Amino acid sequence: MAASFVPPSPPPFADDEVAAIRAVTPGCSGGLIHLNHAGSSLPAQVVLDAQLGHLQREAVIGGYEAAAEAADRTRETHASIARLIGAEPSEIARFGSAAEAWMAAFWSIPMAAGQRIIVHDHEYGANAIAFIHAAKTRGVVIDRLPSDECGQVSVDALAERLQRADDVALVSLTHVPTNGGLVNPAAAIGRLTRAADVPFLVDACQSVGQLNVDVDEIGCDFLSATGRKYLRGPRGTGFLYARPSILDRVTPSQPDHHGAKWSSTDDYTFAAGAQRFEYWEFSHAGWLGLGAAVDVVHELGIDRIEATVTERANQLRTMLTDLGLTVYDEGLQRCGIVTTASPNVASADLKAALSRCSINASTTFAGSSRYDVERRNLPDMLRLSVHCTTTVDELEWTVAVLTSILRN
Ligand SMILES: Cc1ncc(COP(=O)(O)O)c(C=O)c1O
């Protein structure tokens, strides 16, 4: 039998390529070390130009007139996002955040009292609040999957729980959790939900832009993401992917006259495709900025971004471990988010001390990932998140600063 062809993995960006990306990213030129890309990353100049240019046109010729002028480019953002995740433009709905997009999908899914919603310990806080709210208001049962020995969602446990699937309203998965460095095996979960014909909602807020995310490979019905994190887009932007085959099984919970057409005095019809989840009003400048940011990802190549982010995060994990710190990351596949803590100095104090040295980091707190925090008994952690703009020099300097904080 002929050996199957395995395409070579693309290499991380070389130093001169990273320098070129940094040269067109204003946040990389002022001496700041930004290790908070999973909070909000640093946009390229073209992203700023797209937003500022549109704001200028709105101010000079009027908001509706500027929207008409930019209509083609505005539509292009849907197409560019679709191309990035292996979808069609009509399968993308724009939103002002990932949580809004996720909520639009979640609350469109029919859920009856006693039905199960299957979730995992890495769910984001906003999603968990929705589960609890659905339990309180609709009587659904939250069925939490355990993690496997690597810390990722247990695929075997899901297979077992889907053996009887007629009472399952939804399987929800956070692809890259808020902390923990982990990449959950979304495609393995998708194979099971497809076989069981159960709706599958993926929170890809922290994976789109740093990993190659393909909705067909994952096999999800819905996928939500934000602009401001690894896509390096503007704050206040996000999107939802909705598979055409799910649309007849769900009902948008709060349609307006853009998501639906007021067809007669007492009736309406939903817009075609994912548009039914959108609202009429949105930040045109933000959406154009997001389109420019996604175009940058296309130009750089998501595979090379992923290779660079993965390499940089692994380098940082090694440096922190060498310093004697515990790294709390789990999973077979790890991403650009690195979490650590010191037994002697509170993470909030570490973050503040780093900030005084112009190093941006963030800290985790129980309310954003309580299931995980309680299961692993995690402390408040320092979260350092890298991107393809991050250099080894920046990591070495950060670890040198941490060393001096911890030794004083
Ligand atoms: C895993 C995950 N999902 C969803 C969100 C919400 O994103 P947004 O603030 O854009 O709504 C976040 C934000 O940190 C997140 O980490």
In the predicted structure, residue 312 carries a pLDDT above the cut 70 = yes
pLDDT at 4: 66
Sign for the CA dihedral angle at 290, 296, 300, 305 comes to negative
What is the average per-residue pLDDT within 187-207? 98
What is the average per-residue pLDDT within 98-102? 98
* C-beta neighbour count of 273 within 10 angstroms: 18
Q: Read out DSSP for 129-176?
A: HHHHHHHHHH--EEEEEPB-TTSSB-HHHHHHHTSS-TTEEEEEEESS
204 alpha carbon – ligand 1 mean position (Å) = 9
* Residue having the nearest C-alpha atom to atom 7 of ligand 1: 98
Q: Between 100 and 9, whose confidence is greater?
A: 100
Report the alpha-carbon distance of residue 130 to residue 136 in Å, rounded: 10
Q: Between 8 and 163, whose confidence is greater?
A: 163
203 alpha carbon – ligand 1 mean position (Å) = 8
Pocket-testing residue among 100, 206, 223, ligand 1, by greatest number of atoms within 8 A of Cβ: 206
What is the average per-residue pLDDT within 377-403? 97
In the predicted structure, residue 2 carries a pLDDT above the cut 80 = no
205 alpha carbon – ligand 1 mean position (Å) = 6
336 alpha carbon – ligand 1 mean position (Å) = 15
Lowest mean pLDDT among 4-18, 126-140, 333-347: 4-18
Closest ligand 1 atom to Cα of 175: 1
pLDDT tens for 72-81 read 999 999 999 9
pLDDT tens for 24-67 read 999 999 999 999 999 999 999 999 999 999 999 999 999 999 99
Report the alpha-carbon distance of residue 126 to residue 129 in Å, rounded: 5
Report the alpha-carbon distance of residue 194 to residue 171 in Å, rounded: 11
Q: How far are the Cα atoms of 166, 190, 356, 371 from residue 159, in angstroms, in the given order? A: 14, 11, 49, 21
What is the average per-residue pLDDT within 393-404? 98
pLDDT at 64: 98
Report the alpha-carbon distance of residue 326 to residue 406 in Å, rounded: 13
Closest ligand 1 atom to Cα of 102: 4
Pick among 3.40.50.1820, 3.40.640.10, 3.30.1540.10, 3.30.70.260: CATH of 49-298 = 3.40.640.10
Residues flanking ligand 1, CB < 6 Å: 97-99, 124, 126, 174, 177-178, 203, 205-206, 226, 238
Residue 9 pLDDT level (bands cut at 50, 70, 90): confident
Find out whether 103 and 131 touch, Cβ atoms under 8 Å.
no
81 alpha carbon – ligand 1 mean position (Å) = 18
What is the average per-residue pLDDT within 252-280? 98
Residue whose entry in the numeric block shows the structure tokens 């045109």: 284
98 alpha carbon – ligand 1 mean position (Å) = 6
365 alpha carbon – ligand 1 mean position (Å) = 14
Closest ligand 1 atom to Cα of 226: 10
* Residue ranges of domains in the chain: 15-43+301-407, 49-298
Report residue 275 as tokens: 């548009």
Average pLDDT across the chain, whole number: 96
Q: DSSP 3-state assignment of 349? A: helix
In the predicted structure, residue 223 carries a pLDDT above the cut 90 = yes
387 alpha carbon – ligand 1 mean position (Å) = 17
List, in order, residues 6 or more apart from 289 with CB less than 8 Å away: 43, 47, 48, 50, 51, 227, 233, 234, 237
pLDDT at 1: 47
* C-beta neighbour count of 311 within 10 angstroms: 18
263 alpha carbon – ligand 1 mean position (Å) = 36
- Residue 51 buriedness (CB in 10 A; 0-12 / 13-18 / 19+): buried
Closest ligand 1 atom to Cα of 228: 10
15 alpha carbon – ligand 1 mean position (Å) = 31
In the predicted structure, residue 336 carries a pLDDT above the cut 70 = yes
Report the alpha-carbon distance of residue 222 to residue 246 in Å, rounded: 8
* Residue having the nearest C-alpha atom to atom 16 of ligand 1: 178
Q: How far are the Cα atoms of 11, 120, 157, 303, 307 from residue 8, in angstroms, in the given order? A: 9, 33, 33, 11, 12
Closest CA relative to residue 241, chosen from 224, 260, 259, 218: 224
In the predicted structure, residue 3 carries a pLDDT above the cut 70 = no
Pocket-testing residue among 103, 175, 226, ligand 1, by greatest number of atoms within 8 A of Cβ: 226
182 alpha carbon – ligand 1 mean position (Å) = 15
pLDDT tens for 356-370 read 999 999 999 888 899
CA atoms within 13 A on the CB side of 356: 8
* Residue having the nearest C-alpha atom to atom 12 of ligand 1: 205
Report the alpha-carbon distance of residue 134 to residue 138 in Å, rounded: 5
In the chain, the percentage of residues whose pLDDT exceeds 90 is 94
In the chain, the percentage of residues whose pLDDT exceeds 70 is 99
Per CATH, domain 15-43+301-407 is 3.90.1150.10: yes
Pocket-testing residue among 100, 205, 208, 371, ligand 1, by greatest number of atoms within 8 A of Cβ: 205
H/E segment holding residue 268: strand 267-270
pLDDT tens for 244-258 read 999 999 999 999 999
